[in-house]
Amino acid sequence: MNKKNGKYLTTGEFAKLCKVNKQTLFYYDQIGLLSPVVKNEKGYRYYSIRQIELFFVIDLLKELGMSLNDIHHYTQHKSPESFLSLMYQKKEEIVKKRQEIEMKEKMIEAKIALMEEASHLDFHQVTLEQLPEVTLYLSRNIENLTDEEYVEAFSDFINELNVSQLDTGYPIGIIRKRQQLIKGEFTNYSYLYIEQPHPKEGYPYFKSVKGDFLIGYHIGEEKTIHKTYKRLFSELDRFNLALGEYVFEEYIYDTVVMNHNEQYVTKIMMQVVK
């Protein structure tokens, strides 16, 4: 066999063209995945230039997570139909991965924006602000639950976000109702929520009320949050305001960025009416 006619490549030439080492080609030959078209009596091995495309497809399938056993199975049962079916399958997988990456990118962008905003806040200041309407995804009602039931409800909510890909990177907050605060039930919540800047169709959402909110920040553990609410109630009187229907709480700083719970910061947004 005279490989100088230009149709054949030595193992070294083929490996260089495919940007792999020769050991990879030896292994592919050993398992029957890709073998030289010529092996002469002197032990010389030659690959056809037509095998380059097959190597590239094998390499592509490997990069997409397909095992060598599965790739070998395909190469032993090649046909235009099986190739087309395989390509459609891999295209669907790539589309799904791209969507997952785009979703994670948006989550990271949201976390960056929230943390940069937090770096400019004065946590000792109480402000009266007008907040826009936002779309929230809610948990089931969690009023009057035991600690064990609350943990179960929280776990279910996290699973819903993961399965339905509704985690937007925004903090998971809680909603309190007016009557809970009036009764002094500072550890009783109504719903968990997460903001949905780009709501997906087919899911039940809650539209937060657009309007005036008294905003303050609790620094420290949850068990001392009643002290911050006492301060906010004093501010209500000072502004000549009445408590509205809902109060929203979100972590600003939590275990992600702080090691000690006395450093945690919770944002409290109280709906108010004049």
pLDDT digits (tens, 9 = 90+) for 102-144: 999 999 999 999 999 999 999 999 999 999 999 999 999 999 9
Q: What is the pLDDT of residue 2?
A: 53
Predicted TM-score of the model (pTM):
0.76
What burial letters (b/e) apply to 113-134, b meaning 16+ CB within 10 Å? ebeeeeeeeeeeebeeeeeeeb
pLDDT digits (tens, 9 = 90+) for 203-249: 889 988 789 999 999 999 989 999 999 999 999 999 899 999 999 99
Of the chain, the end-to-end C-alpha distance in Å amounts to 95
CA angle 191, 214, 243 (to 5 degrees): 65
| 206-207 β-sheet, strand order | 127-131, 211-219, 265-273, 242-253, 173-177, 191-195, 135-138, 206-207
Amino acid sitting at position 212: D
The DSSP-derived string for 127-161 is EEEEEPP-EEEE-S--TT--HHHHHHHHHHHHHHH
Amino acid sitting at position 188: N
Q: With a cut of 60, say whether residue 1 has pLDDT above it.
A: no
Average pLDDT, the chain: 92
Residues 156-172 have a mean pLDDT of 93
Is residue 5 very low, low, confident or very high in pLDDT (cuts 50, 70, 90)? low
Q: With a cut of 60, say whether residue 3 has pLDDT above it.
A: no
